[in-house]
Amino acid sequence: ENVINSLPEISECMVYGQKSTLGENIAVNIVMCNGYVEGDIKSLMSKLRKILPPYLMPSKINIVESLPRNASGKIVRYKELQI
């Protein structure tokens, strides 16, 4: 998360494992800073390939308006698969 959050176009993100029939995949929910543009995911994946090792590359990126938070303002991780 720290590496992804260091990119200037990312406001915040939540990384989580998502079970599939082939094992566990890495998925990321991302809140973009300046609004979402259709080409942002391809550009973002290209940047992530340069800074993340292959085993940490997300298999799926979801662009979301906001991340779920509790009353304390912390990200609620148990809702990650419902987004």
Q: What is the pLDDT of residues 7-60, one digit of tens each?
A: 888 888 888 877 766 666 777 777 766 665 666 788 888 999 999 888 888 888
Side-chain-facing half-sphere of 74: CA atoms under 13 Å:
4
Provide the residue type at 60 as one letter.
Answer: K
* Secondary structure (DSSP) of the chain: -HHHHTSTTEEEEEEEEEEETTEEEEEEEEEESS---TTHHHHHHHHHHHHS-GGGS-SEEEE-S---B-TTS-B-GGGGGG-
Q: What is the pTM of this model?
A: 0.69
Determine the Cα–Cα distance for residues 19 and 2; give it in Å rounded to an integer.
23
